[in-house]
Amino acid sequence: MYTQQNLIPAVIYARYSSSGQREESIEGQLRECHAYAKHNGFTVVGEYVDKALTGRTDKRPDFQRMLRDSERGIFKAVILWKTDRFARNRYDSAMYKYKLKKNGVRLYYAKESIPEGPEGIILESVMEGYAEYYSENLSQNVKRGNYDSALELKTLGVRVYGLRKSADDHFEPDPETAPIVRRIFEEYAAGERAVDIVARLNAEGFRTINGKLFSKTSLPPILKNEKYLGTYIYKDIRVENAFPAIVTRELFDKCAHLMKRHHRSPAAARDTNFLLTSKLFCGKCGEPMTGDGGTSKTGRVYYYYTCNKRRRHKCDKKRVAKDAIEDFILQKVMEIVATDGFVETVADKVVEYQEKYRDHKKLRALERRQKEVENATNNLMRAIESGIITPTTKSRLVELEAEHERLTKSIAEELIQDATLDRNQIVWFLERVRDGALQDESFRTFLVDTFLNAVYLYDDDNLILVFNYSGNNNTVKLKAAEMALFKAKSSGFNQLSLPLIFGFGKRFPKPFLF
């Protein structure tokens, strides 16, 4: 029995697609999520709703607000109707789940049973993969219709600052905002700093197309947009002088040259996404190894992972170069995932795990009641055949038949709502992962988040990888060829050639050596 004191604070996120397809309404999603919260020990402290916004993009106002609010610690769970309400792009999903996880927030689904534990993580990724596949197929008809409209140079509902939609759905300069666009180009070409341009626009009361204040990031999309040259672009369709231009080619090219020169500056940001955050652990003391950076005397910036206890001078574990350890581990993860044995074994375990944690109670109750109704109907029919007929016989038979019909419908609905995936679907998804590109940062994040549970790094040339996969006799030992994994960036970096050990187990096993 849950009491008010031990209820978990949670919020609900609901979304309705802009695809125009028939989906569960916002009200229906909220109703199902509130019912789930009531029966599973949650207290709902807030709701976030995005209407007519597709899950294929993360540009959803309430979705982003939910992510920001998760940093405040006011809730520990997010309840959704199904996995595809969160995102239909599994790479974005992996990154945003990591953000929520870092803030101590976990996802729950009202209509899909995702078991806890390592196999549950893989199962959830499989389901997200199918949601993305469905979304991609769903968008094909829309894309075909858009392409036909693009051939006619229609706006396709796209809003562009400085342009407006004409009566026949074509772009044309907006008398109110086109002069602002021209002014931005002219001032930037004259050498004005972006921050100064933005400050003046805001001070004079001008706002972006969404009614917000201009920011430094508002200018690059404007300065790069060829629509201001009167050029219509959609996929492989490109039509020059499709509508009146706002700026000249000379002015546009001058701004492009200045932007390119500015971006060559040393201040250009380098990607410092530490992929193994919350995954990499010190083999000496067991503490997490987290991202850090430093600058050499020449001004070159280095990134590495450092044991948290080393920062407090309580562990002498050597630092390790960020790119080297990430690239090596990802390559080895891909090699393991690419083996037929891994795919087949993981598929078996996920199916087994899924079946173990499925909630059959409601379905079994409906099936039992359906069997009772069928038995009662058969008994009544035998009584009628024996000549035992009373005034209530007909009405009772009609009641039983109506109840049987309702039960049949309820069982069908329960089976449809069941999120169970068969083994072939899971194998299909895992095999598709093999085609991912390790150069793609979003795929790297997805790969680590889905399959990798933990990494233990030792100074004695041993590395242990723990995958999201549990069970008995599932430890795999591999030998890696001697290779210079880490190049000395400074005297503090670890240089080693390591025989690689892969282990599979529950989070987090006691570090072990062979």
Q: What is the pLDDT of residues 189-228, one digit of tens each?
A: 998 888 899 999 999 999 998 888 998 788 999 999 999 9
Q: Tell whether the model's pLDDT for residue 3 goes beyond 70.
A: no
Question: In this predicted structure, what is the pLDDT of residue 12?
Answer: 93
Question: In this predicted structure, what is the pLDDT of residue 264?
Answer: 46
Residue pair 330/342 in contact by the 8 Å Cβ criterion: no
Cα gap 218→155, rounded to integer Å: 21
| Residue 76: partners with Cβ closer than 8 Å, 6 or more residues away | 8, 9, 10, 104, 105, 106
Q: How many CA atoms lie within 13 A of 164 on its CB side?
A: 8
Which among 222, 175, 169 is positioned nearest to 198, based on CA atoms?
222
Cα 79 to its chain centre, rounded Å, is: 15
| pLDDT tens, residue by residue, 468-507 | 765 543 343 333 333 333 333 333 333 333 333 333 333 3
Question: In this predicted structure, what is the pLDDT of residue 454?
Answer: 81
Write down the domain spans for the chain: 8-112, 152-262, 280-338+434-505, 359-417
Pairing of β 320-321 and β 301-307: antiparallel
Pairing of β 237-239 and β 232-234: antiparallel
Question: In this predicted structure, what is the pLDDT of residue 161?
Answer: 95
Name which residue leads in pLDDT, 1 or 144.
144
Strands (DSSP E) found in 216-335: 232-234, 237-239, 280-282, 289-295, 301-307, 320-321
- Dihedral sign (CA 147, 150, 152, 157): positive
Domain 152-262: give its CATH code. 3.90.1750.20
Which among 135, 134, 131, 115 is positioned nearest to 123, based on CA atoms?
115
Query: Could you tell me the fold of the domain covering 8-112?
Result: Rossmann fold (3.40.50)
Which among 454, 488, 486, 496 is positioned nearest to 287, based on CA atoms?
454
| pLDDT tens, residue by residue, 390-427 | 777 778 888 888 888 888 777 766 654 555 667 787 78
* pLDDT, average across residues 272-294: 85
The label of the residue with tokens 């004409």 reads: 166
Residue pair 280/325 in contact by the 8 Å Cβ criterion: yes
Question: In this predicted structure, what is the pLDDT of residue 253?
Answer: 94
Question: In this predicted structure, what is the pLDDT of residue 269?
Answer: 38
Cα gap 234→217, rounded to integer Å: 24
Top mean-pLDDT range of 3-12, 17-26, 88-97, 402-411: 402-411
- Residue 493: burial class (beta carbons within 10 Å; 0-12, 13-18, 19+): middle
Which among 291, 288, 289, 290 is positioned nearest to 272, based on CA atoms?
291
Residue pair 51/17 in contact by the 8 Å Cβ criterion: no
| pLDDT tens, residue by residue, 226-247 | 999 999 998 888 999 999 999 9
Pairing of β 106-109 and β 8-15: unpaired
Cα gap 94→441, rounded to integer Å: 11
Question: In this predicted structure, what is the pLDDT of residue 180?
Answer: 96
Cα gap 434→358, rounded to integer Å: 29
Q: Tell whether the model's pLDDT for residue 361 goes beyond 80.
A: no
The label of the residue with tokens 């709502």 reads: 417
Task: Name residue 303's beta-bridge partners.
Answer: 293
Q: Tell whether the model's pLDDT for residue 51 goes beyond 70.
A: yes
